[in-house]
Chains A and B, each alone.
Chain A
């Protein structure tokens, strides 16, 4: 089975099909989009099952290769490792939920329904393309292409409250990403020149680059990824984009698209430029560390729900960042697991915020207050999403945050201690947000708003239930995912540091019950 090419093509073809549905038949467009996204989910599950774990399993699996531009040595080459597989599963899971949650988004803003859902599917295909590519040029292509559907999702279908703000956010998002992409393009060309005129990831990984060249190439890739992720100080586009995008698109933007940045660091920066990675690691960690504290403090100070959630994500990306550059197996696996869990948790949070905003017609926290009295179940889901965001044990993000911190601590105690302050700040922004929105005296204005009286609908319940269930299951039993992630992370680290350095804590032989 050609799992990976199918996974990439199905949503792209589906997007075309949905785009050609006449505007007069919105229902057909929705159903078709949902069908396509479910097919993708099915293929993703099959891919997961076909992926081998355990000793002896190769790092890149399910490979396919097709000629593209023979003169440059560029190919359409597919293949996944455990890291990419987890991200693909996350995309395949989130997209149907986003489609369902955005069932009425386009009508509400009186825009083309088929276009909206076609854009979502196109985005899905392009995001998957990033993760399945094993050809650097193909990766670059998808990295840039995926900006286009997101640009339109923000600019044309975003928040109606401030149309100007929406345009500004879309342009800003596009320009930031484009600038990052240009740096990467330069690096990709440099890589091709120095690496023996090939774009093949495996060949390039085996190649050796001179120290200086490595550092420049690393910087080119890293800048693009740091903007995408985003790391401090390249983060300011995200609150605008996250604040203006429709909730579902925001969930995809922050939940998955930004992870291309951290994925890129793991897949390209570390294996291709190991010496440069070690050399830049202190700086990368410093940026991440500032991000954790700085963005968390900013989240505390936000008055707009969607911007607040965006800032929490920047803080979370800081954790992922230190985890990657600590170069230990615990921190590295923690980071990858964090990428998945953050997608689930923040995805849920954005979707629930979207449900509140759709009812209230405002994203301002001050326009809520005591909403729990009117919509207790929705408020409960909001609370669970918040608890996931602050990494409460029992919910998936705890495991990843714990791994990142404990893995970092073994090699750099100062960094881990400062980052641990972040878990206190996380409690502050989540609880403060929950209190101002759902607790306390009921805001009198809410009483007059008819939609505020409707609690979680069946459709919304179907959207949030799988996410909550997964957060719980992975919170109690993360091993199946760790088994997929660990070998890929170990392989990544082996290229950068020695095995003793990547697992520095003493092994214990005295175990309980023996």
Chain B
């Protein structure tokens, strides 16, 4: 296991040093980072212009990103690195603060800053009357900077740096209205569940260092073939744990719908278009690792398939417009995981679906925000209806997003989702049927729940709240131009992005993700396309038939399946019963033991040795039983830990 051996089967990964304008790639991150710092430190003086600084910094990053993208196109070797300085140098561990700009990173940079700019612009309108607007834009810029670091790092430590940075920004923005207990709790939940995944990610980094002596992409990818298959599997599973946490994939999906407690632009940018796709980025970036081990790929595909169905099923039963969209995000990222898990040519398919999703999901979230803006922050789709007459632009742009996500040609979802279904059916063996059918079923369900959402919101009879019920009277209105212009641009993206990207982007990504592979689906390609279209139309038609006349104002008693879906298929209940409650009991027990037992025991010892401490000794009386208990508990703990230590040294 000599780490310097280059795996001979795979083509070696070679990064060239960045020159010219490309050596300024650090500015991509620095501009929004400095802007965030100014916004958070400047104080009230910046309240008037702060948000425009926030918007301008993202625009500047976007323009720079575009320029660098064109520079990159002219290069022979389209992977350039820049090591800024030595970050953690200790012994053989050499971690540099280093960046990598390559076709994959370029795609993400343009998505993050491009869609990010539009959402920043929208937020100037959406947050216009919020007293914390400057703080909001500070956090928003911080997010952009961290997300860019995540995708631009040239080693796993840099990726982790950005990874935790976006986690922080996500936490701050979910609990932005920290005075609301629900928002504070949702933020904490997001952070904690992400930390569980993060623990996996750092273990993956430790494994790389222990076996390959480096965390650098270049070294790791070129030497991964020298490792045994179990080792590769372990590294991959560790990375996957991190990916599941960040991307809200099964079993770490529960935080994402709760994250909707944040302001809607946050949901659009962070919890739909960019941050939650970081897991997909991680796997695509690590494709030399994942392609090395078929078991690993099967696990990724399974996670994707389970999650995409889970998201669809729960999405059909939710009444909160943002939660439906959130579960839809969970489900769509499931498609992306399916793609990166299938490997080969499907890596690129996952990435184009990710980019297209960035457009149409951001579009719909912002549309939802626009609806809430006009309806006094109402989120219950049972209390919408007939809004198309009052919010023409929101309606039309939302319609584009809806048609795109359910995959109606020629909108973008058709070009990006359908190839993943074909790729799933092309997987050899019976699993091809299994995952293919799951993806196909998901397409039908997606059409159903998205159509339900669209019809209940914009069509059918008005079911608005009224003063007579003791609720607010609704006077819906279209949002200001600063909000509708981003909607229109994102709607355009939803229409054309898929068609434009379907061949060009996979070609562009070839140096990173490998060449396209010929698909041999179990059902003929044309038939499969027809089948998925039929299912989509059927799902949408069913929803239209059921909901065109509106629905009850409150949730009605329902069967087992719908009730389960309304309760997130009991995944939250499971977490509570298995982790939260026992955790609470354990903590309480330990506090008791520590105060009464361990303390008492050592106090007694101290008093005996120190002597003459009547005060201490008086406090000891009556705790003999606790001593016994604590000696037992302490002894068991230390012995257990000792065995673990010994075991570790042998292993």
* Contact surface of A with B, Cβ cutoff 8 Å: 167-168, 171-172, 175-176, 178-179, 182, 232-236, 282-283, 285-287, 289-290, 294, 297-298, 300-302, 328-330, 333-334, 370, 372-373, 387, 392-394, 398-399, 402-403, 405-407, 409-418, 420-421, 423-424, 427-428, 431-432, 435, 438-442, 476-479, 482, 486, 490, 502-513
Contact = CB atoms under 8 A, between A and B. Distances in A.
A502 B180 CA distance: 51
Contacts of B4: 508-510
Contacts of A441: 179, 181
A328 B209 CA distance: 13
Interface in B586-640: 586-588, 590-591, 594, 598-599, 601-603, 605-607, 609-610, 613, 615-616, 619, 634, 637-639
Contact of B602 (A167, A236, A398): A236
Contacts of A509: 4
Contact of A330 (B16, B90, B607, B613): B90
Contact of A479 (B89, B157, B214): B89
A319 to B, nearest CB: 13
Interface in B181-199: 181, 184-185, 187-188, 191-192, 195-196, 198-199
A431 B181 CA distance: 13
21 contacts: A168-B615, A172-B606, A178-B610, A233-B602, A233-B634, A286-B642, A286-B645, A399-B88, A416-B206, A416-B648, A418-B641, A420-B202, A423-B195, A423-B198, A439-B178, A482-B89, A506-B212, A508-B219, A512-B81, A512-B216, A512-B217
Contact of A512 (B91, B154, B188): B154
Nearest to B642: A286
Interface in B95-113: 96-98, 100
B164 to A, nearest CB: 5
The binding surface of chain A is classed by DSSP as: helix
A511 B610 contact: no
Contacts of A476: 87, 97
Given A435-B184, A510-B222, A510-B223, A373 B613 contact: no
B165 A176 contact: no
A410 B91 CA distance: 13
B237 to A, nearest CB: 13
Given A424-B199, A512-B155, A175 B602 contact: no
B606 A439 contact: no
B293 interface: no
A73 B634 CA distance: 42
Contacts of A392: 164, 168
A387 B90 CA distance: 24
B646 interface: yes
Nearest to A177: B606
A298 B616 contact: no
Interface centre among B88, B100, B212 (most CB of A within 10 A): B88
Contacts of B606: 172, 175-176, 179
A512 B158 CA distance: 14
A439 B89 CA distance: 39
B599 A290 contact: no
A506 B213 contact: yes
Given A289-B644, A302-B591, A503-B92, A410 B195 contact: no
B213 A282 contact: no
A442 B179 contact: yes
B315 to A, nearest CB: 28
B203 A417 contact: yes
Contacts of B588: 301
B539 to A, nearest CB: 40
Contacts of A301: 587-588, 590-591
A502 B91 CA distance: 9
A93 to B, nearest CB: 22
Interface core residue of B160, B613, B648, B651 (most chain A CB under 10 Å): B648
Contacts of A330: 90-91, 93
A120 B502 CA distance: 69
Contact of A298 (B1, B199, B587): B587
The 3 lowest CB-CB distance pairs between A and B, nearest first, are A414-B648, A286-B641, A412-B648
B93 A505 contact: yes
Contacts of B591: 298, 301-302
A52 B97 CA distance: 26
Interface centre among A398, A427, A432, A438 (most CB of B within 10 A): A427
Contacts of A435: 184-185, 188
B71 to A, nearest CB: 17
A503 B91 contact: yes
B638 A287 contact: yes
B26 interface: no
A439 B184 contact: yes
A99 to B, nearest CB: 26
A290 B188 contact: no
Contacts of B178: 372, 438-440
Contacts of A428: 192
A268 to B, nearest CB: 22
Given A236-B598, A301-B591, 16 more contacts: A179-B605, A179-B610, A235-B598, A236-B599, A236-B602, A283-B642, A285-B641, A297-B586, A298-B590, A298-B591, A328-B91, A330-B90, A427-B195, A479-B87, A504-B210, A506-B2
Nearest to B609: A179
Contacts of A182: 609
Given A478-B88, A505-B210, A513-B83, A298 B195 contact: no
A338 B161 CA distance: 18
B590 to A, nearest CB: 5
A396 to B, nearest CB: 12
Contacts of B85: 477, 479
Contact of A236 (B175, B603, B610): B603
Contact of A507 (B92, B157, B616): B92
Nearest to B1: A506
A423 B160 CA distance: 14
A282 B645 contact: yes
B556 interface: no
A508 B613 contact: no
A167 B619 CA distance: 13
Contacts of A370: 179
B219 A511 contact: yes
B6 interface: yes
